[in-house]
Each structure stands twice: as structure tokens, then as C-alpha cells.
Amino acid sequence: QKEVEQDPGPLSVPEGAIVSLNCTYSNSAFQYFMWYRQYSRKGPELLMYTYSSGNKEDGRFTAQVDKSSKYISLFIRDSQPSDSATYLCAMSSYSGGYQKVTFGTGTKLQVIP
Amino acid sequence: DAGVIQSPRHEVTEMGQEVTLRCKPISGHNSLFWYRQTMMRGLELLIYFNNNVPIDDSGMPEDRFSAKMPNASFSTLKIQPSEPRDSAVYFCASRNRDRGQPQHFGDGTRLSIL
């Protein structure tokens, strides 16, 4: 079993829809939770970064962490064609004195105008 | 504010040739990471440097892979000899080691070994 599981999609939605992207994990030691957005032929770009359980909002994006269920989500409101990208969840813990980050394999999202 | 800079952006070479990928981290960042991304396996950590010192190279697939960080502003990942299965996108990322700071990625080197 992988430490981080993420549905690869692809996920196709109409413009304006609410998008829900999810990841589950098995390692209780994960402390920091991140969402990266990756456009085609570009590097992953940090979108959201959170430490605790609960919700964190930034514009149209909301990150949700439920440590008890080992489940994180990213919600995108009023989705736009420019949101079309691959979204990677990432989680980190401290091991051997340094932060180790584990990435999901990514969910490909397409927002149709 | 310059981000992580990688070169070359694309590399096509024949099997058996030496390949060198280069990375300039964000100024002031003291941790540097090399990743490999493929469709099948996603993002895999190859090696991690802290203050120019390799800390964890357990992700380096074989002895054909080596990485160096001679100073705080430059790192290389070398593959010698290269094989077709090394074809992938290689990313460099850096961060400030202060606890909890996230990594910032370059745009990667797309490597094709024929």
C-alpha cells in the first residue's frame, strides 16, 4: 500500500463547477499538508500549505485536513479553464532530523468552457 | 524574485552517453532536492542536500546516478552511462530549512535517452 493515495482522474468539469480533489494517507507521522498545481511542461507550484486539521481558505481554493480520518481535500470554487492542470497532494514528516515529503501521483483536472 | 532555475530544459541523447543536469536554487535556501517524475511512478525523491551536504541519497536508483552540490547556489545531477529507462522529467526543488517551510520547484529537465 502506498503511503499517499490519490485518484489520477482525469476529472472533467464544466466552467463554474465546484471541484473536489482528495487524498488519503496511511502515515500518522505526517504533520504538514500541501497542494501543488502543475501545468503541462512546468514544475509543481505550491497552492496551499497547512499544518493543522481543519480548513484553510485562499481565494477560490479551500484546503481541508482531517487527521483522524487521514484524509485531505482541495476544493476549487467557480472553477475556470485556467484551473486545468494536474493537482498533487503532498505530505511531510520529520525523519532522521529532516523533513521528508511524500507526493501523491496527481489528479488531472480539465475545466471545460 | 528568481525561482529555481534548471538547465537544460530538454535533453535528447543516445544510450551510453553522459548526461549532466544543472540546478540553481533560490537564493537563501539551504536545502535542495532532486526528483524524477514519470507517469507510472509520479514524483520520486532521488537525493536531498542540506547546507550543500548530501543527507539522504537512498532514492538514487543506481550507481550510474550521482549528484553534487559544490556551493550553495549550484547543484548537478549526473547519469553515466545513460539508459532509455532513465527517460523522465527531472526536477530540482529548494527550500529554507526552517521547520515547516515548503519546497519550491524549478520547471524541470525533460530527458529522453534513445
Q: Which of A43, A46, A98 minimises the CB distance to B106? A: A43
Going by the DSSP 8-state scheme, the letter that residue B35 receives in this structure is E
With beta carbons less than 8 A apart as the criterion, state whether B111 and B88 touch.
yes
Does any CB of chain B come closer than 8 Å to the CB of residue A34? yes
Collapsing DSSP states into helix, strand and coil, what is residue A95? strand
What is the rounded distance in angstroms from the CA atom of residue A80 to the CA atom of residue A21? 15
What is the rounded distance in angstroms from the CA atom of residue A4 to the CA atom of residue B44? 13
**What's the grid cell of residue B76?**
548537478
Could B102 and A49 be called an inter-chain contact, meaning their C-beta atoms sit closer than 8 Å? yes
pLDDT (tens digit, 0 to 9) for every residue of chain A, 113 residues total? 788 999 888 999 999 999 999 999 999 989 889 999 999 999 999 999 988 788 999 999 999 999 999 999 999 999 999 999 999 999 988 776 677 889 999 999 999 99
